[in-house]
Chains A and B, each alone.
Chain A
Amino acid sequence: MSVKMLLKYSAEALDKPILAEVIRQTSAGINILHAELNATKGEMLIGVEGSPEEIERLIDLFKGRGVDARRLERTVELDEGSCMDCGACLSLCPTGALHITEDYSVKLNENKCIMCEVCVPACPVKAIKVFKPF
């Protein structure tokens, strides 16, 4: 399965190679989607590919190193009642999360979304919502 996770670093954890340590101990695939690590903030959004057990273990691995890891339940939503299937979003989506089906319906594959938000303002009827946790 594929999920997105929000990591919150404490100030003490910021200068430690925690992500590298965790990656070495798991077989889950980790993709950094967004990171903001500075004097006032320590947040990272990651995409994780792995079995439910691995994902649970990953959360423990982070927590054991002082990083709060939380699975995001809602990440992105396409309001199909409002969407006109115009396709304005299609060429802006870098991962093909927004795609068109054989009958020319615009669909969203939530797993592929990296929450870049380029589509959000480009949608003429504002049918796409990204729930960025920060």
Chain B
Amino acid sequence: METAKTYEEINQKIRDGDVVVLTAEEVAGFVREKGVEKAVKEVDVVTTGTFGAMCSSGAWLNFGHADPPIKMQRVWLNDVEAYAGVAAVDAYIGATQLSESEGMEYGGGHVIEDLVRGKEIELRATAYGTDCCPSREIRTTITIDDINQAVLLNPRNAYQRYMAATNSRDETIYTYMGTLLPNYGNVTFSGAGILSPLHRDPNYETIGVGTRIFLGGAQGYVIWEGTQHNPGKAMGTIMVIGNLKEMDPRYLRGCTIHKYGTSLYVGLGIPIPLINERVAQTVARDEDQIKTNLLDYGVPRRDRPVIREVTYAELRSGKIEVGNKEVPVSPLSSFKMAREIAEKVKKWIERGEFFLSSPMELLPRDTIFKPMRQVAEAPLVRDVMTEPAITAGPEDTISHAARLFAEREFNHLPIVDEGGKLLGIVTSWDVAVALGTGKKKLSEIMTRRVITASEDEPVDAAARKLEQHNVSGLPVVNAGGLVRGVITSEDISKLIGRRVK
């Protein structure tokens, strides 16, 4: 494609003070009205922005040497462990590492925010001691001004777009996509849509190694493709770097995703030069052309079922249809902040405070995101459950159940209707307790709200249910509600026994 203008020409305009900059929202309107050709001629740069939880973030810190010296083996900042397996006094604090005393209430993301705020941070380190670095332990406090380098280096930021989430289960679940209410009670999504930096240049024609960007309130750089970069699926990511000492806590916020863990909200913006017509075309696409899938996070598997396709325009409206009901939607990233960042980058460029950098190398467009190679497949409920399950009817007597428990040596009796559908459950304990109460039928003592498992659910997920609900067995039912078997804590113990052997 013919180049309409070069980076140098644009930077000259910035120096001359006559550069024309629009935000991604503004350029969409411009192109709708005046067309792409005019946009390439009249507009030089389009600014983007995003502000969301970016878990794959962290900072490299160098503390300087203590006297006597220490070769830090393990390091904690405000009780959050940082990775110290690099030389003596360097450490990487990751956003999702949890505090050892406060758990999910405080983590690496909070440490980074507190550093940027100039707060005192407690530094603790242990070591094995060497001839040159004899110290074995150190405790001190530091601020960002006391340390040598503080560099934000985020391996995977600014997802081009992301999946939207909902939950089919009949219980609330707590995920990295936030709190998801039962029975498709709400939907959450992330990403800045029309302002999303990477989605404004989906062919990766201008964003590459060395692209200067807005990062956490300072000027930073793209240094590589992000981990899991998957541009073919419109799921590109970038690895970015910037000087933490220059950053602004308004654009770097430590956070807690309830019952999931900690993270870091990162503000990031990329200016996109309109170097040719194709770039102008993609940079101006409306939000109703940005599609993503709504996934069922109620299924704890890598490949979650797709409920439907949605556009960012629908998600942005605050309500979408799931099944045939209207469901409220939560954005998890702030569109207001994304807008503020795009505006800020625009101002910087207009004032001659920010120049565009021509990428030294463009990002790959053909990488794919592979699943993990697992030498042993994770066992599923179907592999360990007891089948077929021994069942009884609601009209059967308690003494009938007592006899079954005694003869067949088991403890969980699903109660089913004539068609085999699950109605409730009676345990051997329920039967023991019922003795002497005068109750006769199983329907009088059965638990009606039963926690169940499905055959193709990982055993780990079933074990989590047993633990969370404090029960010792789950009937395994298929999609039609028919009982296929029972999985108990004993079945899972046996599995662990097998693994150890």
Give A residues with C-beta under 8 Å from B.
84-92, 100, 103-105, 118, 121-122, 124-126
B256 A87 Cβ-Cβ under 8 A: no
B188 A91 Cβ-Cβ under 8 A: yes
B458 interfacial by beta-carbon distance below 8 Å: no
Select the stretch in B145-153, B213-221, B278-286, B334-342 that faces chain A.
Answer: B334-342
B52 A86 Cβ-Cβ under 8 A: yes
The minimal Cβ–Cβ distance linking B432 to chain A, given in whole angstroms, is 29
Residues of A within 8 A of B53 (CB): 124
A124 B179 Cβ-Cβ under 8 A: no
Q: Give the contacting residue for A124; candidates B181, B257, B335; CB below 8 A.
A: B257
Q: Give the contacting residue for B253; candidates A84, A92, A105; CB below 8 A.
A: A84
Q: Which residue of B lies closest to A119 (CB)?
A: B179
Q: Give the contacting residue for A90; candidates B181, B328, B339; CB below 8 A.
A: B328
Cβ proximity bits B179-195 to A, threshold 8 Å, 1 near / 0 not: 10100001110000000
The minimal Cβ–Cβ distance linking A119 to chain B, given in whole angstroms, is 9
B211 interfacial by beta-carbon distance below 8 Å: no
User: How long is the Cα–Cα vector from A86 to B179 in the complex, in angstroms?
Assistant: 14
A125 B255 Cβ-Cβ under 8 A: yes
Q: Which residue of A lies closest to B327 (CB)?
A: A91
A86 B331 Cβ-Cβ under 8 A: yes
Q: A85-B334, A100-B318, A124-B53 are in contact. Are A92 and B181 (CB under 8 A)?
A: yes
B297 interfacial by beta-carbon distance below 8 Å: no
B333 interfacial by beta-carbon distance below 8 Å: yes
The minimal Cβ–Cβ distance linking A124 to chain B, given in whole angstroms, is 4
Enumerate 19 A-B pairs (CB-CB under 8 Å) in ascending A order: A84-B337, A85-B336, A86-B331, A86-B332, A86-B334, A87-B332, A87-B334, A88-B178, A88-B179, A90-B331, A91-B186, A91-B188, A92-B181, A104-B334, A121-B258, A122-B258, A124-B253, A125-B253, A125-B256
Residues of A within 8 A of B333 (CB): 86
The minimal Cβ–Cβ distance linking B48 to chain A, given in whole angstroms, is 16
B160-179 residues at the A interface, CB under 8 angstroms: 178-179
Residues of B within 8 A of A100 (CB): 318
Q: Give the contacting residue for B255; candidates A87, A90, A91, A124; CB below 8 A.
A: A124
Q: Give the contacting residue for A103; candidates B318, B331, B336; CB below 8 A.
A: B336
B253-276 residues at the A interface, CB under 8 angstroms: 253-259, 263, 265
Residues of B within 8 A of A124 (CB): 53, 253, 255-257, 263, 265
The minimal Cβ–Cβ distance linking A108 to chain B, given in whole angstroms, is 15
Q: Give the contacting residue for B178; candidates A84, A85, A104, A122; CB below 8 A.
A: A122
The minimal Cβ–Cβ distance linking B52 to chain A, given in whole angstroms, is 7
A126 B336 Cβ-Cβ under 8 A: no
A87 B253 Cβ-Cβ under 8 A: no
B92 interfacial by beta-carbon distance below 8 Å: no
Residues of A within 8 A of B186 (CB): 91-92
The minimal Cβ–Cβ distance linking A24 to chain B, given in whole angstroms, is 36
Residues of B within 8 A of A125 (CB): 253-256
Q: Give the contacting residue for A92; candidates B51, B179, B337, B339; CB below 8 A.
A: B179
B337 A91 Cβ-Cβ under 8 A: no
A85 B330 Cβ-Cβ under 8 A: no
Residues of B within 8 A of A103 (CB): 336
User: How long is the Cα–Cα vector from A77 to B190 in the complex, in angstroms?
Assistant: 25
B329 interfacial by beta-carbon distance below 8 Å: yes
The minimal Cβ–Cβ distance linking B324 to chain A, given in whole angstroms, is 18
The minimal Cβ–Cβ distance linking A4 to chain B, given in whole angstroms, is 24
User: How long is the Cα–Cα vector from A89 to B328 in the complex, in angstroms?
Assistant: 11
A84 B51 Cβ-Cβ under 8 A: yes
Cβ-closest 5 pairs across A and B: A124-B255, A91-B186, A91-B330, A91-B328, A104-B336
Residues of B within 8 A of A89 (CB): 330
Residues of A within 8 A of B256 (CB): 124-126
Residues of B within 8 A of A118 (CB): 179
| New A-B contacts (13) at CB < 8 Å, excluding given A85-B336, A91-B328, A122-B179 | A86-B52, A86-B265, A86-B333, A88-B178, A88-B332, A91-B181, A91-B186, A91-B329, A92-B181, A104-B334, A121-B259, A122-B178, A124-B265
Q: Give the contacting residue for A87; candidates B181, B254, B330; CB below 8 A.
A: B330
Q: Most chain-B CB neighbours within 10 Å: which of A89, A91, A121?
A: A91
User: How long is the Cα–Cα vector from A134 to B187 in the complex, in angstroms?
Assistant: 32
A105 B336 Cβ-Cβ under 8 A: yes
User: How long is the Cα–Cα vector from A77 to B385 in the complex, in angstroms?
Assistant: 49
Residues of A within 8 A of B330 (CB): 87-92
Residues of B within 8 A of A92 (CB): 179, 181, 186, 330
Cβ proximity bits B319-357 to A, threshold 8 Å, 1 near / 0 not: 000000001111111111101000000000000000000
Q: Which residue of B lies closest to A103 (CB)?
A: B336
A84 B334 Cβ-Cβ under 8 A: yes
Q: Most chain-A CB neighbours within 10 Å: which of B178, B254, B330?
A: B330
User: How long is the Cα–Cα vector from A125 to B107 in the complex, in angstroms?
Assistant: 12
Residues of B within 8 A of A90 (CB): 318, 328-331
Residues of A within 8 A of B253 (CB): 84, 124-125
User: How long is the Cα–Cα vector from A87 to B314 in the complex, in angstroms?
Assistant: 15
User: How long is the Cα–Cα vector from A91 to B332 in the complex, in angstroms?
Assistant: 10
User: How long is the Cα–Cα vector from A103 to B335 in the complex, in angstroms?
Assistant: 9
Q: Which residue of B lies closest to A86 (CB)?
A: B334
User: How long is the Cα–Cα vector from A29 to B53 in the complex, in angstroms?
Assistant: 42
